[in-house]
């Protein structure tokens, strides 16, 4: 128990909008502290039309509490949960980069192909973050049973330094943190969810393995084989589409990599990788067993060259991504 409280007082000055989603908005902000201390952070704010929904707010708070203790190089760090005039916000690590959706769109726009080794490297880092989250325990050593349930291109960040970060645990499943209606509603993006998600079944950590496999296939092929014209059609493809021999879709995919994809995307849970650790080991063996392989620096150099070390505001705005906004006097004081 603390013997005293320090009331230092600090504020967040909003700099620009980074991303606007269905239920929240993310801004870049300056956190101000004592003696002209300034730190750039990301601020996630609940949309006004969700601010009066108790269950949503409880889940937002639960997400903040859950992720606050997930301290890993491949997971976006959470710093602070705040409330100002009944408005809740989360202060998070600011990633100087783009999400994988923007990354793959830029590849398409520039008629570039992501090198096979970098596709595997990115996915291996996602698996590292998942392995950590899946194994996370509470203060009594009991496993929290975390399942992200929303592993997709939008929720994977690529920093221009080459770091890969998993973000947005907003619909994650974890004991004691977030209200869960699994089995009654479908949670997640239709073209990245696992078959058990799509079929209204109870999920475990193997669900995230399937979604990670979809990400890997997308990075290699430049498209999502499950994506259809509507979420319902995508859901049906997740449930019933025959998993292809990926060697026939891209000549760069050899036998070992095809085997990894097949095991990730197995609908039979007994065939799928049992854990993110197993998947991570398979991916890292694939790129490093012969010697030197890709690193953060390799990915960073590729990303900086791809984007010219910045995201043009006009392009990013069209993609729903980072959009430069004039500095304003807007502040969040806590």
**What CATH number should be reported for the domain whose range is 11-95+318-329?**
3.30.200.20
Q: Are strands 156-159 and 164-166 parallel, antiparallel or unpaired?
A: antiparallel
**Per-residue pLDDT at 215 exceeds 90:** yes
pLDDT tens-digit map of 145-180: 899 999 999 999 999 999 999 998 877 766 655 555
Which pLDDT value is given to residue 13? 87
Contact between 226 and 214 (Cβ < 8 Å)? yes
pLDDT of residue 318: 36
- pLDDT for 62: 80
> What count of residues does the chain have?
334
| DSSP class of 140 | T
Question: What does the pLDDT read at residue 319?
Answer: 38
Question: For the ranges 34-43, 99-108, 226-235, 258-267, which has the lowest average pLDDT?
Answer: 34-43
Sign of the CA dihedral running 252, 248, 152, 268? negative
**pLDDT (0 to 100) of residue 177:** 58
For residue 265, CA distances in Å to 249, 279, 286, 305 come to: 16, 12, 18, 32
Please give the Cα distance from 319 to 322 (Å, whole number).
Answer: 8
Written as six digits, the tokens of 204 are 């475990």
Confidence tier at 324 by pLDDT (50, 70, 90): very low
Q: Give the Cα separation of 42 and 53 in Å (integer).
A: 23
H or E element in which residue 283 lies: helix 276-288
Q: How confident is the model at residue 320, as a pLDDT?
A: 39
How many helices (H) does the chain have, and how many strands (E)? 10, 9
Q: Which residues contact 125 (CB under 8 A, 6 or more apart)?
A: 74, 163, 164
Q: Tokens standing for 85?
A: 């005039």
Please tell me the distance from the alpha carbon of residue 134 to that of residue 62, in angstroms, as a whole number: 17
**Domain ranges (residues) in the chain:** 11-95+318-329, 97-306
pTM given for the model: 0.86
Q: How many CB atoms lie within 10 A of CB 141?
A: 6
Locate 121 and state its tokens.
């490297």
Strand partners, 14: 29
Does the pLDDT of residue 64 top 80, yes or no? yes
- Taking Cα atoms as reference points, which of 63, 88, 93, 66 lies closest to residue 78? 93
Same fold, 11-95+318-329 and 97-306: no
CATH assignment of 97-306?
1.10.510.10
Mean pLDDT over the full length of the chain: 84
Q: What is the pairing mode between strands 11-20 and 24-32?
A: antiparallel
Q: Is the pLDDT of residue 314 over 50?
A: no
| pLDDT single digits (tens) 3-29 | 432 333 568 888 888 877 767 788 999
Instruction: Give yes or no for residue 225 having a pLDDT over 90.
Output: yes
Q: Which residues are catalytic?
A: 150
pLDDT level of residue 186 (50, 70, 90 thresholds): low
* Chain centroid offset of residue 316 CA: 18
The mean per-residue pLDDT over the stretch 257-272 comes to 97
Half-sphere exposure of 332 (CA within 13 A, CB side): 25
């Amino acid at each position: 128990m603390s013997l005293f409280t320090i009331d230092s007082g600090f504020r967040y000055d909003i700099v620009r909008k980074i991303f606007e989603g269905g239920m929240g908005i993310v801004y870049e902000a300056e956190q101000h502290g004592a003696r002209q201390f300034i730190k750039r952070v990301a601020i996630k704010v609940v949309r006004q039309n969700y601010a009066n929904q108790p269950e949503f707010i409880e889940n937002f708070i639960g997400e903040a509490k859950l992720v606050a203790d997930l301290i890993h190089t491949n997971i976006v760090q959470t710093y602070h949960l705040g409330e100002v005039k009944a408005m809740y916000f989360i202060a998070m690590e600011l990633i100087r980069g783009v999400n994988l959706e923007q990354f793959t769109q830029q590849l398409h726009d520039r008629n570039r192909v992501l090198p096979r080794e970098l596709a595997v490297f990115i996915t291996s880092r996602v698996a590292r973050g998942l392995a950590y989250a899946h194994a996370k325990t509470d203060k009594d050593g009991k496993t929290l049973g975390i399942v992200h349930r929303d592993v997709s291109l939008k929720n994977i960040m690529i920093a221009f330094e080459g770091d890969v970060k998993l973000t947005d645990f907003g619909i994650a499943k974890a004991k004691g943190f977030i209200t869960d209606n699994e089995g009654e509603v479908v949670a997640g993006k239709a073209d990245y969810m696992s078959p058990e998600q799509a079929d209204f079944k109870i999920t475990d950590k193997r669900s995230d393995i399937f979604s990670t496999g979809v990400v890997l296939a997308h990075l290699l092929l430049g498209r999502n084989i499950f994506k259809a014209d509507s979420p319902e059609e995508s859901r049906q493809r997740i449930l019933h589409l025959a998993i292809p021999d990926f060697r026939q879709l891209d000549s760069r995919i050899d036998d070992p990599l095809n085997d990894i994809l097949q095991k990730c995307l197995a609908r039979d849970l007994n065939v799928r990788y049992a854990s993110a650790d197993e998947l991570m080991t398979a991916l890292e063996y694939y790129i490093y067993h012969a010697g030197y392989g890709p690193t953060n620096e390799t990915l960073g150099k590729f990303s900086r060259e791809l984007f010219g070390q910045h995201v043009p505001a006009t392009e990013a705005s069209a993609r729903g991504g980072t959009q430069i906004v004039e500095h304003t006097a807007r502040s969040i004081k806590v």
